[in-house]
Amino acid sequence: MPKKTDFDSLIEESFLPPRDIIDPVAMVSRELKKPLPKRFYKEAMVQSRDGQFLLLLDGRAAKTPGKKPLALPTLAAAQALAAEWSSQGEFIDPATMPLTRIVNSAIDGVAQRMDATVEEIAKYADSDLTCYRASQPDSLVRAQAAAFDPVLAFARDSLGASFICTEGLMHVEQPRAARTAVLEAIKAMQREPAAAFVLAALHVMTSLTGSVLIALAVAKRMLTPAAGWAAAHVDEDFEMRAWGQDAEALRRREWRWLEMDAAARLLQAVSD
C-alpha cells in the first residue's frame, strides 16, 4: 500500500488543484493532456461517518485536490462516486470520471463561493438559448418551438418568469421580473442541505446547454436530462441533417454529454 504522502499526491496529481476546479467543464480538455497515473488501489467503497458518506480507497478516506474528504450527503451519491472509481482500469483517467470532477468542484470550489456561483448561473437568464429563434426555414422554426416552448412554459408557470423571444442573435433585454424570478429559484436551491453539490451540478448543466431554463427544468424534473440535452442541440442537429455530420463535433458532444449526465445524476442523488 502506498505511503500516506504518496496516496495523497496521486489523488492531487490526477485532478486539478482547488484554484482550477470551479468550472468542471473547462477541466476536461486540460486533463486530456496530462499523463495518466496508474491505478493505486484495489477497492473503492463507501463508509458512513458523522452523517456523511465517505469514499474509501482500500479502506482509506479519499480526498479532493484541496485535501478535503471526498464525502457526500447521501448514500446514493457516494455509491455512484465509488462505482466511478471502481470502473477505472490499469490507469486512472479523470476524463472518464465526470462525477468525481463535479464533486471535487462542489467541495473545493462551490462550497467556498456559493453566492458567486448563484450569480454566475443566474446571468444566463439575460441571454438564454431558448429565447433566440430562427426566422427560417420553417422546419427549424418548428423544431425550435417544439424544443424551447415547453421550457419557457415551465419558466412561466413554475418560476413565475415570462421571457421575451426574438429572431436572430441580436441581444434582447429580458424583463427584470423574469431575471429576478430565476435568481430567486437558484437562491432557493442554495438553501438546500446539499447546496454545494446542487449548485455545482446546476452550473455544469447551465454552461453545457447555454440555458439556465433548461438546466432548471431538468433539476425540477420537468425535462429528462436526455430531453434537455436534445433541446440544447436542436440547431446543431438541424445543421447536421442539412449538411452532414461532423465527426469531431459529435465526439466533443459525446464527452460533454457524459458531463451533463453526471451532473443530472448527482443532483438527483443528493436531492432524493
If asked whether residues 46 and 173 sit together in one domain, one would say: no
The stretch 217-236 carries a mean pLDDT of 97
Note whether 47 and 54 are within 8 A (CB).
Answer: yes
- Strands (E) located in the chain: 44-49, 52-57, 60-61, 71-72, 132-133, 166-167
If asked whether residues 76 and 131 sit together in one domain, one would say: no
Q: Is the pLDDT of residue 7 over 70?
A: no
Note whether 258 and 99 are within 8 A (CB).
Answer: no
135 part of a folded domain: yes
Cell of 105: 468542484
Share above pLDDT 90 across residues of the chain, in percent, rounded to a whole number: 78
If asked whether residues 133 and 259 sit together in one domain, one would say: yes
pTM value is 0.89
Q: Report DSSP state, residue 166.
A: E
103 part of a folded domain: no
Q: Report residue 5's pLDDT band, with 50, 70 and 90 as the boundaries.
A: very low
* Tens-digit pLDDT profile for residues 106-115: 999 999 999 9
105 part of a folded domain: no
If asked whether residues 126 and 76 sit together in one domain, one would say: no
If asked whether residues 154 and 68 sit together in one domain, one would say: no
| Average pLDDT across the chain, whole number | 90
Instruction: State the total domains in the chain.
Output: 2
Q: Is the pLDDT of residue 26 over 60?
A: no
If asked whether residues 42 and 127 sit together in one domain, one would say: no
If asked whether residues 60 and 190 sit together in one domain, one would say: no
Q: Is the pLDDT of residue 21 over 50?
A: no
140 part of a folded domain: yes
If asked whether residues 54 and 175 sit together in one domain, one would say: no
17 part of a folded domain: yes
Segments forming the whole domain that contains residue 208: 114-271
Q: Which residue has the cell 443528493?
A: 270
* Tens-digit pLDDT profile for residues 139-191: 999 999 999 999 999 999 999 999 999 998 899 999 999 999 999 999 999 99
98 part of a folded domain: no
Across 231-246, b (16+ Cβ under 10 Å) vs e yields bbbbbeebeeeeeeee
If asked whether residues 77 and 133 sit together in one domain, one would say: no
136 part of a folded domain: yes
101 part of a folded domain: no
Q: Which residue has the cell 421575451?
A: 164
- Strands (E) located in 131-269: 132-133, 166-167
Q: Report residue 33's pLDDT band, with 50, 70 and 90 as the boundaries.
A: low
Tell me the CATH number at 122: 1.10.3580.10
